[in-house]
């Protein structure tokens, strides 16, 4: 496992602790829910994450998963914009990886696997590997539910 992957996993295990210590207010939840599934750039997603990552649960989490997987599937060419954000803020990198999940559109997940295998920039191998693994797990989870 790469150092990048180890850091992402370590950060991902700490994020729920932060959310418990900083509860999401109703007003924050409303704003987060409006932004979660409409982010169309990595910078916009990062700004939303910075403001509302402690609200990352339920419908808000599903919205973030929608934005993450949509960008990874349909805007793969923007991956170079994600990489420095994920490297500079490992918790954000873990957030992105965590949101490649079975709540996402199956076609997007399949496209993510193809993108990660065939279109990965040479400086993003660790990120592509983690994204691909998460998408494959999500696809398997959906298949186990009878969704193919």
| DSSP per-residue string spanning 101-143 | STTS-HHHHHHHHHHHHHS--GGGHHHHHHHHHHHHHHHHHHH
| CA 143 – CA 130 distance, rounded (Å) | 20
State residue 117's pLDDT score: 97
Token readout for 17 is 């602790």
Number of neighbours of residue 148 by Cβ within 10 angstroms: 7
97 by Cβ neighbours in 10 Å (0-12 / 13-18 / 19+) ranks as buried
Flag residues of the chain having pLDDT under 70: 1-21
Distances (CA, A) of 137 to 56, 108, 131: 21, 13, 10
State residue 13's pLDDT score: 53
| CA 138 – CA 132 distance, rounded (Å) | 10
**Alpha helix (H) ranges present in the chain?**
3-21, 26-36, 42-52, 58-74, 79-88, 90-98, 106-118, 125-144
Whole-number mean pLDDT of the chain?
89
Distances (CA, A) of 138 to 43, 49, 70, 141: 25, 22, 14, 5
Q: What is the pTM of this model?
A: 0.84
């Amino acid at each position: 496992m790469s150092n990048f992957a180890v850091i992402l996993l370590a950060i991902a295990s700490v994020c729920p602790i932060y959310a418990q210590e900083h509860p999401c207010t109703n007003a924050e939840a409303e704003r987060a829910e409006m932004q979660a599934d409409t982010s169309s750039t990595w910078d916009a997603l990062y700004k939303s994450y910075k403001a509302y990552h402690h609200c990352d649960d339920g419908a808000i989490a599903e919205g973030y998963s929608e934005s993450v997987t949509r960008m990874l599937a349909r805007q793969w060419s923007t991956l170079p914009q994600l990489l420095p954000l994920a490297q500079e803020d490992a918790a954000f990198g873990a957030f992105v990886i965590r949101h490649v999940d079975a709540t996402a559109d199956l076609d997007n997940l399949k496209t993510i696997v193809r993108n990660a295998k065939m279109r990965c920039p040479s400086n993003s191998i660790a990120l592509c590997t983690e994204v691909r693994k998460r998408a494959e797990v999500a696809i398997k989870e959906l298949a186990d539910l009878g969704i193919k």
